[in-house]
Structure 1
Amino acid sequence: MATNTKHIDSKKYGKALTLKDRITIEDIIKNNRALNGSMIVTLNSISDILEKDPTTISKEVKARRTPIDKRQPNYKVMSQVCNTCVKKAKCEFKQNSNIQAYLCEYYEKYTCKHLLRFPWVCNGCHKRGHCTLSKSYYNPIPAHESYEYTLTDSRQGVYMTQKEFEKINEVISSGLKKKQSIEHILHSNNVPICVTTAYTYLHKGYFNANILDTHRIAYFKGLNGTKPQNSKILKNKKVGRHYEDFLDLLAKNPDLTYTQMDTVEGVKGGKVCLSLKIVKIQLQLYFIMNDKTAATVVNTLNTIQSIIGIENYKKIFGTILTDNGSEFTDIDGIMYDPENGELRTDLYFCHPQCSGEKGSCERTHELFRYIIPKGSSLNDFNQNDFNKITSHVNSLKRKSTDYSTPIELFYAFFGREILDKLNISLIEPNSVILSPELLK
């Protein structure tokens, strides 16, 4: 059985509107208006005639229509103003000659409904001759000229003076040499271009720096498969501490301040980094450990508590989410205060081999690796070095925090005292370094 399906040439369907198409649009709108101003034909009908998507036609008319306000009401004559007011039917001050119209606090200008929906313009409307409302018209020739100007102007290259560009080039290239992110550089120096434009200029070779000076584009690698391993934490100790239990807690307390905990290894058998990420403010703390054992993790947490005090410890580390590594098997040691045995931390565990469940912590490890590349030994570093890393990593402006630094957010939520005690400080934006040069 034959079907009456209209075939549309896909090649023609995807092309831009021509001047002939724009003239056709204007002609159809002009000659197909009812007496009340509404359209006799539908937008889909015009779409079928031109073989263009309806949204293309709608966006064209709305974007390139010309507003005209030739007959503005005399704002000193109340009757003229009331006729253009949305509230004229119910207003008790209507046409009150004792009130100066331009001072009326209830005035709200009325907009014709045909300008708020298809056809979006007044072309062909039978009421336009005596209508006092604001009008908009679609003229195909100026519309096409506007389109051609936009088309050529967008391909003109860098739209700024040579002096302005040299200044931007100096700021961005200098920041990239220090391994700062594009977002951090732009928002720390108020550079008047967007992130996308900066990357475009970088790819085209406009800057002194090149694409290899960026971290993520140059060095990002796909995730490799990992070998499955058995959980080393006894199941009976994890009752009520599974990831599902953590999600339930988070659902009941959406503003909960919690920390993601992990370790970062250097070489096997050497020193290890304990990583603690305060997710709410995106601040990540790094502490060096002599080995990757459960006892060392507990001792490190106890040291942190002794430095900042138990009350501050509970505020920041009152809830911790971690993985199933063997270094986190001393659940009681992590959860309870060694001095009085009171609960200091609620501890929860991700599913085995599901590092994405604490992805915020994992993502910031990438910043750590910019400074100490993967495979490098941590044996030559001490806590002072890690404090310097923590300060620089957390002084990086980020889109996820509306371009505030994690340290600035920490100051806002918890004050300066805690980070001062941990010897962590805010670094000036142009002094942030995320490369091995930091520790040399």
Structure 2
Amino acid sequence: MTQTYSNTNLRKGKHLSYSERCQIAILKKESYSNRQIAKVLGRVPQTINNEISRGTITQLKRQIQNGKVYETYYSVYDADAGQAFYEKQRLNCGRHPKWAKTDAFIDWADDKMLNEKWSPDIVVGFARKHKLFDFPIIPGTTTLYQWIDRGIMKTKNIDLLEKLSRKIKTVRSSYRSNKRILGKSIEERPKEIETRETFGHWEIDTVIGNKTKSDAVLLTLAERQTRFEVILKLAGKDAQSVDQAIHSLKERAGDAFDQLFKTVTSDNGSEFAGLHEVLQNVADVYFSHPYASWERGTSENQHKLIRRFIPKGSPISEVSEKHILRIQRWMNGYPRKILGYATPYDMFAHAFKQERLADLPVNP
């Protein structure tokens, strides 16, 4: 069979242009068949068939004969009609972004990030875990950051304090040895504490304000497994203030102190010189290597959250006890990705309950 039409040189993957549609209209007026038009334009015949079908309109023709008006309807391909249909279809092409479907998630996310100082990841993780919205309208964490960058959200990058202050840190391979060691090294700490398998192991540290000797400081204690935080305001950064705060904490905890505090890990700051003596016969105390803050990573990460409310350089003496308590409650009620988007408070309460149940005597 002789081939009169070859498709080896046809244009593929290209939509018809408006000029091609005008050519189709002209050729149809000259009584070209669809197959002939396809050959002239170098297109597949089915493309021409589809285009003519979509761009064909019905027109009315009036004739007056012997004083009477005769109306005739006929069909004709119109390039403008074909182009209009094409452009309308293009509007519906592609996947619509999630933010275009509804404002519900965006409004909720902005409220959490701006008013409650949640991070984008916590917003996404909490919404998914608790099924607050239909899953298709909840973006991923990376997408939410992109929405912020593009200005889709009310939240701006300047509102994400942790993002602005984040730096890539390199871990030193050796330790500086020109600082005293106050007690047992962190190297002697049991492995189950390092892996957070057990409850009751804390990291203690201080947060300073404007670096003046007269300014108050914050004493922070973070439970490693649950990320539960205790924040105490001290008159100064000295051993006596720390020792008094620990004594006060022991009185508040009462008989439960030894269940709550099994070990405490500190740095070698002079303010912790009396820590081993204060906690003697109650909890083991370990000290990290000098200038190795990454060994107390829980405290370091917790301090980033505190800095959302008390920026560096701000005098802590001017921060009220009530405000510090509000920060503590916010931190312990803040869902964490590392906890499966549960809150430190819930995890701490559950762990402490299990600890107390384990200490109950077994009935014979």
Q: Please give the alpha-carbon distance, in whole angstroms, between the structure 2 residues aligned to 1:402 and 1:249.
A: 20
Contact preservation (8 Å) 1:266, 1:378:
yes
Instruction: Pick from 368, 374, 381 the counterpart of residue 306 of structure 2.
Output: 368
The alignment's TM-score, normalised by the length of structure 2, stands at: 0.62
Contact preservation (8 Å) 1:258, 1:280:
yes
Contact preservation (8 Å) 1:232, 1:325:
no
Q: Which amino acid aligns with 1:158?
A: P
Contact preservation (8 Å) 2:334, 2:343:
yes
Q: Please give the alpha-carbon distance, in whole angstroms, between the structure 1 residues aligned to 2:180 and 2:235.
A: 21
Matching residue of 2:114: 177
Q: Residue 148 of structure 2 aligns to a residue in which SS? A: helix
Q: Please give the alpha-carbon distance, in whole angstroms, between the structure 1 residues aligned to 2:119 and 2:309.
A: 13
Q: Please give the alpha-carbon distance, in whole angstroms, between the structure 1 residues aligned to 2:308 and 2:125.
A: 21
Q: Residue 403 of structure 1 aligns to a residue in which SS? A: coil
Q: Please give the alpha-carbon distance, in whole angstroms, between the structure 1 residues aligned to 2:93 and 2:267.
A: 50
The alpha-carbon distance between structure 1 residues 248 and 157, as it changes in their structure 2 partners (threshold 3 A), is same
Q: Residue 308 of structure 2 aligns to a residue in which SS? A: helix
Matched, 1:410 2:348: yes
Matching residue of 1:317: 261
Q: Residue 317 of structure 2 aligns to a residue in which SS? A: coil
What percent of counterpart residues are identical? 23
Q: Please give the alpha-carbon distance, in whole angstroms, between the structure 2 residues aligned to 1:197 and 1:404.
A: 22
The alpha-carbon distance between structure 1 residues 194 and 317, as it changes in their structure 2 partners (threshold 3 A), is same
Matching residue of 1:419: none
Q: Please give the alpha-carbon distance, in whole angstroms, between the structure 2 residues aligned to 1:396 and 1:284.
A: 11
The alpha-carbon distance between structure 1 residues 356 and 230, as it changes in their structure 2 partners (threshold 3 A), is same
The alpha-carbon distance between structure 1 residues 233 and 295, as it changes in their structure 2 partners (threshold 3 A), is farther
Q: Which has the larger radius of gyration?
A: 2
Q: Please give the alpha-carbon distance, in whole angstroms, between the structure 1 residues aligned to 2:93 and 2:290.
A: 50
Q: Please give the alpha-carbon distance, in whole angstroms, between the structure 2 residues aligned to 1:279 and 1:253.
A: 6
Q: Please give the alpha-carbon distance, in whole angstroms, between the structure 2 residues aligned to 1:388 and 1:205.
A: 31
What is the CA deviation profile of residues 189-223 of structure 1, one whole-angstrom value per residue up to 9, with x for unaligned ones? 43422222212222222223222222222333456
Q: Residue 321 of structure 1 aligns to a residue in which SS? A: strand
Contact preservation (8 Å) 1:259, 1:320:
yes
Matched, 1:209 2:155: yes
Matching residue of 2:250: 305
The alpha-carbon distance between structure 1 residues 332 and 412, as it changes in their structure 2 partners (threshold 3 A), is closer
Matching residue of 2:241: 296
Q: Please give the alpha-carbon distance, in whole angstroms, between the structure 1 residues aligned to 2:325 and 2:334.
A: 15
Q: Residue 374 of structure 1 aligns to a residue in which SS? A: coil
Q: Residue 294 of structure 2 aligns to a residue in which SS? A: helix
The alignment's TM-score, normalised by the length of structure 1, stands at: 0.52
The alpha-carbon distance between structure 1 residues 252 and 220, as it changes in their structure 2 partners (threshold 3 A), is closer
1:124-139 superposed matches below 5 A: none
Q: Which amino acid aligns with 2:298?
A: S
What is the CA deviation profile of residues 251-304 of structure 1, one whole-angstrom value per residue up to 9, with x for unaligned ones? 799425300111111122111111100010011211000011111111101101
- Between Structure 1 and Structure 2, the one with more strand by share is 2
Q: Please give the alpha-carbon distance, in whole angstroms, between the structure 1 residues aligned to 2:342 and 2:199.
A: 20
Q: Which amino acid aligns with 2:201?
A: Y
Matching residue of 1:245: 188
Contact preservation (8 Å) 2:262, 2:283:
yes
Give the aligned length: 252
Q: Residue 351 of structure 1 aligns to a residue in which SS? A: coil
1:134-173 superposed matches below 5 A: 156-159=95-98, 162=101, 164=102, 166-173=103-110
1:233 to partner: Cα distance: 4.3
Q: Please give the alpha-carbon distance, in whole angstroms, between the structure 1 residues aligned to 2:335 and 2:114.
A: 17
1:307 to partner: Cα distance: 1.1
1:174 to partner: Cα distance: 1.8
Q: Please give the alpha-carbon distance, in whole angstroms, between the structure 2 residues aligned to 1:225 and 1:251.
A: 17
Cα RMSD, aligned residues only: 3.2
Q: Specify every segment of 5 or more residues in structure 1 that has no aligned partner in the other structure, as ranges.
A: 1-18, 20-152, 337-342, 416-440
The alpha-carbon distance between structure 1 residues 377 and 260, as it changes in their structure 2 partners (threshold 3 A), is same
1:247 to partner: Cα distance: 4.2
Matching residue of 1:262: 205
1:231 to partner: Cα distance: 2.6
Q: Residue 273 of structure 1 aligns to a residue in which SS? A: strand
Contact preservation (8 Å) 2:196, 2:225:
no
The alpha-carbon distance between structure 1 residues 173 and 374, as it changes in their structure 2 partners (threshold 3 A), is same
Q: Residue 204 of structure 2 aligns to a residue in which SS? A: strand
What is the CA deviation profile of residues 368-396 of structure 1, one whole-angstrom value per residue up to 9, with x for unaligned ones? 01100011111123433221110012211
Q: Please give the alpha-carbon distance, in whole angstroms, between the structure 2 residues aligned to 1:202 and 1:277.
A: 31
Matching residue of 2:164: 218
Contact preservation (8 Å) 1:233, 1:326:
no
Matching residue of 1:61: none
Q: Which amino acid aligns with 1:199?
A: Y
Q: Which amino acid aligns with 1:289?
A: L
The alpha-carbon distance between structure 1 residues 377 and 281, as it changes in their structure 2 partners (threshold 3 A), is same
Q: Residue 292 of structure 1 aligns to a residue in which SS? A: coil
Q: Which amino acid aligns with 1:373?
A: P
Q: Please give the alpha-carbon distance, in whole angstroms, between the structure 2 residues aligned to 1:232 and 1:280.
A: 29
Instruction: Pick from 142, 147, 151 the counterpart of residue 196 of structure 1.
Output: 142
Q: Which amino acid aligns with 1:307?
A: R
The alpha-carbon distance between structure 1 residues 200 and 319, as it changes in their structure 2 partners (threshold 3 A), is same
Q: Residue 280 of structure 1 aligns to a residue in which SS? A: coil
Q: Please give the alpha-carbon distance, in whole angstroms, between the structure 2 residues aligned to 1:372 and 1:160.
A: 33
Q: Which amino acid aligns with 1:370?
A: R
The alpha-carbon distance between structure 1 residues 232 and 174, as it changes in their structure 2 partners (threshold 3 A), is same
Q: Please give the alpha-carbon distance, in whole angstroms, between the structure 2 residues aligned to 1:159 and 1:384.
A: 40
Q: Residue 261 of structure 1 aligns to a residue in which SS? A: strand
Matching residue of 2:330: 392
